[in-house]
Amino acid sequence: MNIIQLLDRAKLNLKKDFAVLPKGDTMTYGDLVNCVDKLSIVFDSLGLKPNDKIILSTEDIRSLVEITIAAYRFGLTVILLDYTSKSTRVDSILSSCSPNAYFIDPKLKISWGIEHSNCIEIKRGTEGKKKFLNKIFAKKPTQEPADDLNTNSYPNCINSLETIIPKYAATIDPSSIAYIIYTSGSTSDPKGVAISHHNLFSHLETLKTVYEMNDTSAILNLLNLYHADGINQGPMLALYSGGTWFCPFKLDTSQLDLIYYAIYKYKITHLFVVPTLLSFFEKYHEDFEDSFQTPDFKFIISVAAQLEERLWNSVSNLFKVQIINIYGLTETVNGSLFCGPGLDSYKIGTIGKPVDCIIKIINEEGNEVGTNEKGELLIRGSHIMVGYFNNSQATNEVIINDWLHTGDLAQQDEDGFVKIVGRKKSMINSGGFRIQPEEIEEIILKTNEVDECKVIGIYDTLLTEKIVACIKLKENSSLNELNIYKFIRENLEQEKVPHDIYFLEELPKGISGKIQVDQLKNTLSEKYKKPSEIGEATIQTIINTAAAIFKIESKEISEFSSSSTLSGWDSLNNLIFITELEDLFNIQFSTSEIMAMTSIRSINAMIAKKIK
């Protein structure tokens, strides 16, 4: 089915919930259809036409979903740009794609310096006084000027439309680009993954079939909507299956109970997670082990990063639930190989078997390897991206004779199951994010006081990999760790900030002068094996630990500091913080205790109680 057919089907279920959103907000299929029709008038009024490109960036998930689906129906290309993106990256992307219009939050217009005439500010909840089209089609010169909130903001620009005559075309070219997602990479060479309508909707059919979804499916997916696993396996998959997408609260790993309760409350059938979230489930599960034992729930779907066999077995056994594992890239829409749910494709520790695509594994000479032999995984299918937008060189490096070279090393056993055994590329998988180390290196070197830098991934049980920056400073440099962290945070998104920085007098190199990554990893791995020393239960000890993990000065932290007031205290770092405190004081926190530890003061009280 294509976007036109899906929206036509939606008209038959106007009162059915399409999405359940934060703060009790719901969107019916009728709401969606109405919004799509109205937005077509707005797009047309802005002078947009099929194949034009729009930048979409907002914290408001309802607006993001509405505009994305409406743009698909109109034939526009949506460039999903995370609202946390820094101006340096944004400038590079805008130069690459030359958008025709913007739908963004007001603060982004300022921080990104957007001066485009076609810029609609997303201001959900504000009220305008005049109608959007009055400004564009006004014929009476005596008419009062329309209020800015109403003429250039969303959803005000559609709320006052009364007569709705949709302005979209009768058909959509399946080869046209539906969306572009820019992956992690250097600012000088941005890589925008271009996915066509054919790529997207053929793969949604695969996902629906594999996951056994239908119009009764209730999908709980709290993942980032600016990543393919969020937008495609959340609202788009719900639309395709005719089910309902649930995103009733923001993902916060300090409040795992909300997820556990949501399974029962909303009669969830499918839960999408990244392996890092499963690590949280494993660590904090007391009194919630039966959370998935409901009549409706089918299975957990792990995406975005490699699922460690030990963790897979542990969580499955703790909760008595099946976890299916999928392998894919942004370049393949979402998946390609699926481990489960059927027994014929289910083998823990593997990524399963290919579905609706073909694969081969090749050696350095380009020849296919034998059973259980290691080589690079190649994929071919209808879901493979069109290419990297406006970057034919990068495209031709990874798509050769219709085969996508994944950069991942794999082996296939005698039963056809595939296992990822390594990585040909330097990509780091951390907390469900795929990070290009070169992007971080590029920023660090811009300090002009760093002589050399190498960013690597070190194995971590919680994050899959920790991001570690190894730095050689220039002679007489005055830079310290906190200076560098401050500079990185000003120029990169939070998920790309290294977890640790190590200063070295020299980076190990081979005869050719190339930095020896394996040697670096071996050296640093030994450091991470050293046990933490047990400390005294004092506020200062906790503050010092927080400062070390959140990469800020201890003087910036007080007993009243909390996750809402401290930079760097996000949900992922919170788990690292709590785990470090458990090791430091040789104690163990329960799930309910974790939920109550929201400030330095409350953490200190809990630790004092534990060690009495």
Q: Which fold has domain 28-172?
A: Rossmann fold (3.40.50)
**Structure confidence by residue, pLDDT tens digits, 561-573:** 988 888 788 877 8
pLDDT, average across residues 204-219: 99
The answer to whether the beta carbons of residues 327 and 420 sit under 8 Å apart is: yes
What ranges do the domains of the chain cover? 28-172, 428-525, 539-610
Q: Which of 176-190, 353-367, 596-610 has the highest mean pLDDT?
A: 353-367
Helix or strand run (H / E) with residue 514: none
Which amino acid would we find at residue 253? T
Lowest average pLDDT, out of 125-134, 156-165, 603-612, goes to 125-134
- Choose the weakest-confidence range: 125-134, 243-252, 371-380, 536-545: 125-134
For residue range 88-115, list pLDDT tens digits in order. Answer: 899 999 999 999 999 999 999 999 999 9
Domain 428-525 class in CATH: alpha beta
Q: Lowest-confidence range among 49-58, 199-208, 274-283, 321-330?
A: 274-283
Q: Which of 437, 434, 388, 440 is nearest to 86 (CA)?
A: 440
Name the token pair of 222.
Answer: 């709290």
Q: For residue 528, what pLDDT band results from cuts at 50, 70 and 90? A: low
CA atoms within 13 A on the CB side of 177: 22
| Residue 351: predicted pLDDT | 98
Q: Closest Cα to residue 593, out of 459, 273, 604?
A: 604
In tens, the pLDDT along 458-481 reads 888 788 888 999 999 988 888 999
Summarize the confidence of residues 493-507 as an average pLDDT.
Answer: 90
For residue 141, name the pLDDT band (cuts at 50, 70, 90): very low
Residue 60: pLDDT above 80? Answer: yes
CA-to-CA distance for 567 and 593, rounded, in angstroms?
23
Per CATH, the homologous superfamily of domain 539-610 is ACP-like (1.10.1200.10)
